[in-house]
Chains A and B, each alone.
Chain A
Amino acid sequence: MDPSRVDFPPGPAGAPMDTMTMLDIRNLHARIDDREILKGLDLTLNAGEVHAIMGPNGSGKSTLSYVLAGKDDYEVTEGTATLDGEDLLEMEPDARAAAGLFLAFQYPIEIPGVANMTFLRTALNAQRKARGEAEISTPDFLRLVKEKASDLGISQEMLRRGVNVGFSGGEKKRNEILQMSILEPKLCILDETDSGLDIDALKIVAQGVNALRSPKRAMLVITHYQRLLDHIVPDVVHVMHQGRIVRSGGKELALELEASGYAAYGDAA
């Protein structure tokens, strides 16, 4: 990113000096149909860091997450994006997942007839296979799911139901975090995971996310509200506007935005 725009040094206090760049996005342009949504976006995320992205509706936050995950409605016209030095944009979506990129969807998708449990296991084994690892054994898998599900307050009954079928808005979001904690990705992108969560669920989900914070993992948290960032405290906050990061700062930037909104960025693009 343009260093002149950074008014707070990234990286948690006391982070090792040789911070590893995990996600590196430069001058990214992407369009859908004939409409350019991302217009030269720069963003660097180091291992161990949590960055928040805030920005008005329609500024392109979800688009960024889809482009990184490889949704094929979007066409990248310019720029680069690498994950641990590997060219993300060249990889198929499933290869990106196996490389450790996880997207918690703003609107999780329903898959009728496929038990949540089956889905989890198929996904985990597919990623293991792609990485040349052996499939997880049934007892190990059951133990893992049971533990993670109970942490997130997800019932056995929900595990047996079709993927996201008939789940409430909040249950869908919790289910995304369940998948994330089982797949243990190295880059977690959370797209408005807090929307639709009640106060208690917000805490549970935040706990789940915080449990995954690690020096080897990076997180990109897309949100509109400070309340999530009270629980998941970010190292850096970015403001996205009209397809670009227009400002970056420390966690207090979120508080500032909450107070004054995005009016100041009206002509920033």
Chain B
Amino acid sequence: MKITINNQKIAVKEGQTILEVARQNKIDIPTLCYHSDLTIQASCRLCLVEIEGRPGLYTSCSTKVEDGLVVKTESENIARARKINLELLFAQHREECADCIYHGRCQALKICRQLKGKINGFTDRKKDKPTFKFGPALEFDSSKCIDCRLCVDMCHRQGIDFLELEYHDGLYEVVPSKDPKKDCIYCGQCLMHCPVGAFEGVGEYEAIEKPLQEEGKTVVFQFAPSIRTTIGEEFGMPYGSVVTGHLFAGIHALGAKAFDTSIAADVTTVEEAKELVERLEKKEPLPMFTSCCPGWVKFCEFYYPEFIPNLTTVRSPHMIMGGLIKTYWAQKEGLDPKNIIVVSIMPCLAKKYDITREELWLDKGALKPVDYVLTTREFAQLLRKRKINLKEVKPEEPVAPFPLPTGAGVIYGASGGVMESALRTAYEKITGKTLPQLEFKNVRGLQGVKKAVVDIAGRKLKVAVVNGTINARKILAELKIDPHAYDYIEVMACLGGCIGGGGQPVPVNEEIRQQRAASLYQVDEKSVIRCAHNSPFVKNLYQEYFNNQDNIKKICHTTFKKKNKEVNR
């Protein structure tokens, strides 16, 4: 099958849309309501093309190819229609470019420049629309919403349906649900898929300097596993650039201490493998679920509290890291933990919620392991504000006592990484032998559900790896029928895991997630030590500080409870 676009003959496959074909062939067609992750909305009406022999204009995102179609992507009529529709869209959108997650680099402005349109062709009709706060995690400013409904589709695809359309005075508007049975899980996938920055993290970007403004404190930044392959994008570096050394340098340039959260991911792994082995021996409660994703934890606590006993009690890496900084490290440095500020640079909006969970505070609430969470985007903005260009800094090394992590601690950032790390360690724990082959390739990749059976000394361990909460629903439904269907399950709320998290740079799509994840696995491959239990730091820690159960319990474990609706309006 062949079609012609702008005089260029192109071979196409049945089922493709004109837009897909054009993009593959580097023919630019402006779009706002199209996202390759989501359902075709065909609502912005910008991706217009002409088809020879047919009257009128067609939206390329929703028009399928047919043999012999002759398509034009530019004409006077097309340009006129695009421009008018774009100006109508801008009439719904209150621009706030300096404080926007796109910081002036959104598609809308790009298209506007191309078409020489005006962003104020009509008066802003939504300027008085409210901002909704979704817990301590994110905000939805409806005065920026252009009604593309991608967020509604995204939240639906998460299996949450917290974002709804509500009818007011003849108009449908996107609003958070009042239904007591629906609550936001703070995954931020809506934000990642909004073309015009109507969602942002709480405090993004007004509060990013706060951690550095506290007087007389030692400020420590830790950065999550996935950050090293994503933040480069904010500084114009290619997708998947590994910038671990740059991150150390950037944080040091702010005058703060820098630690790699992956170090603590190794601790999480060791504890989690230990718990898995114990549960396998006791045969309950199984399957065990990972719990390092606070989006998933909230989902479980709110929608499926009956599965709370199945969550591993092991804390997420940044919480363990925070706890260690304020105890173990503070002692070593002779610092009063009250004078230490811990800031986590996270791929995640749910982590902003995580640090408000009292179950995770130490010493009966007197000591918070983590004081602030900045997203990847917020941290990048902080660096920009302080005129630190990550692309140009000279990479630096970590300093003792928190040296380089293992490869296992780094792959935490991709869906399947936690599972793979835990399996590497659990295998040795159970068999006493080293794994012949470290890679568990069938738990890698971006598919929503991955299943595998792992043979550990004759015991067949049934595992599942899930990203996207709708897929968690599927697995939980399976478990209701057959409680023994799995032994160990990893769930990450965000598409692709944390590399696609709600705090990451925008835009994002399958290809971008792919490159971010691939680079994490490359770091693992190049690491000298690739199993968490072999980390010299971990070994030392268990000798020096985790030599008593109280310390382990306090720093590494937590509890969960059934949640009622938290986000009301």
Q: Do A and B bind each other?
A: no
Binding site for A on B (CB under 8 A): none
